[in-house]
Amino acid sequence: MHSLADLAYVRKARILFPGVLTSLTVAFAAKFLSEHYGAPVMLMALLLGMAFNFLVEDGGACVAGIEFSSKVLLRIGVALLGLGITVQQIASTGSEVLLITLCGVGLTIAMGLGLSRLLGHGPRFGLLIGGAVAICGASAALAISSVLPKSETLERDTIFTVIGVTALSTLAMIVYPLIADALDLSAVATGIFLGATIHDVAQVVGAGYSVSELTGDTATFVKLLRVALLVPLIVILSLVFSGSREAGTKRALPIPFFVIGFAALVIAGSYDAIPELVKDTLLSFSRWCLVVAIAALGMKTSLRKLGDVGGSAIVLICALTGILAVFALTAIKINLN
């Protein structure tokens, strides 16, 4: 006989199945468009998902699964990203590269907070956009959004940030190698510039290896160093906002489990505790979780609400992107080239 717990899991799975299947179908469609037409898979998943917003607005059978995909699968995907970084990589970083990376991230987030206030947005919006630009684009935006206090505008702001950083990252993938060439940067310096400034990992890889193998290797490593900074940022934000909880809600750990999982997987991957084949499989699964999550997030957002963000938000995200690029180029020219 089946236990009551087993029956509860079956009922829960049946409730989640329609929404999860829909999110997965949209993710497959986005992957197809990305592979055949060269469009960023995250952006395609987001836009396709937004076309199915009626599934959420109607309050039908898909709502629970879409909600699950946009939150639980997101956190699983972020946690598994830890397998792509090792302690040895971080430890072997030259002091100049480490300093440029840390200062670039810190400056971008600080400027995000300051400019957000100046442009009439709150500090949480500045944290969301600043963190996404500073660290790893769409993935960082999703992770930061998951620990910020819930509000009526949070999902709309997250969608805007994902669209913005993806579009600017794609543009940077084309333009930044040309800038590096015009400034006569070396292969290594170009890789540092690309890795320290382009928002999303895929675009960093594309830009780096379009220049040379050495540039690609350097850019990828510097980018992963930025991704590693997502852990302390999420921990800090979790602690800062741990008290910003509605009355009557259950108090959770100040540090989310997915952040602990990210850190644990960094350590496990660093000391070969996980076979290479398993690691590659889990990293691929991580990417799929993020694509499915962003498709679900798109379904939860309407274009009408997205337009409420305003032109000042576009100014903010473009300004932060430019500030990070100028800082990185200046630091590289002074210290490395």
Q: What is the DSSP string of 103-128?
A: HHHHHHHHHHHHHHHHTT--HHHHHH
Q: How far apart are CA 277 and CA 116, in angstroms?
A: 44
* Average pLDDT, integer, range 10-37: 89
pLDDT of 105 > 80? The answer is: yes
Q: pLDDT, tens digit, for every residue of 306-319?
A: 566 668 888 999 99
The answer to whether the CB of 296 falls within 8 A of the CB of 30 is no
Instruction: Please give the pLDDT value at position 270.
Output: 81
Query: Rounded to 10 degrees, what is the CA torsion of 298, 302, 305, 309?
Result: 30
Q: What is the DSSP string of 246-282?
A: -TTSPPPPSS-HHHHHHHHHHHHHHTT-S-HHHHHHH
Q: Give the model's confidence band at 4: pLDDT under 50 very low, under 70 low, under 90 confident, else very high.
A: low
The answer to whether the CB of 306 falls within 8 A of the CB of 123 is no
* Average pLDDT, integer, range 284-295: 86
Q: Give the model's confidence band at 200: pLDDT under 50 very low, under 70 low, under 90 confident, else very high.
A: confident
Q: Give the model's confidence band at 244: pLDDT under 50 very low, under 70 low, under 90 confident, else very high.
A: low
Q: Which two tokens stand for residue 86?
A: 């090792």
Of 290, 316, 43, 331, the residue nearest 196 (C-alpha): 331
Q: Which two tokens stand for residue 259?
A: 């952040």
pLDDT of 248 > 50? The answer is: no
With a pLDDT cut of 90, the percent of the chain lying above it is 20
Q: How far apart are CA 286 and CA 65, in angstroms?
A: 18
DSSP secondary structure letter of residue 252? P
Q: pLDDT, tens digit, for every residue of 142-194?
A: 888 888 888 878 888 888 888 888 778 878 888 898 999 999 998 889 999 99
Instruction: Please give the pLDDT value at position 2.
Output: 54
pLDDT of 42 > 90? The answer is: no
Q: Which two tokens stand for residue 116?
A: 């957000």
pTM assigned to the model: 0.68
Query: Residue 264: which residues within 8 A CB-CB, separation 6 or more?
Result: 82
Q: How far apart are CA 182 and CA 247, in angstroms?
A: 57
Of residues 86 and 76, more confidence is placed in 76
Quick check: helix, strand or coil at residue 150?
coil
Instruction: Please give the pLDDT value at position 308.
Output: 61
The answer to whether the CB of 128 falls within 8 A of the CB of 141 is yes
pLDDT of 26 > 90? The answer is: yes
Of 175, 174, 224, 217, the residue nearest 196 (C-alpha): 224
pLDDT of 302 > 70? The answer is: no
The answer to whether the CB of 306 falls within 8 A of the CB of 159 is yes
Q: Give the model's confidence band at 251: pLDDT under 50 very low, under 70 low, under 90 confident, else very high.
A: very low
Q: Write the CA distances from 246 to 68, 149, 235, 256, integer angstroms.
A: 21, 9, 20, 17
pLDDT of 247 > 50? The answer is: no
The burial class, CB within 10 Å (0-12 / 13-18 / 19+), for 153 is middle
What mean pLDDT, rounded, does the chain reach? 82
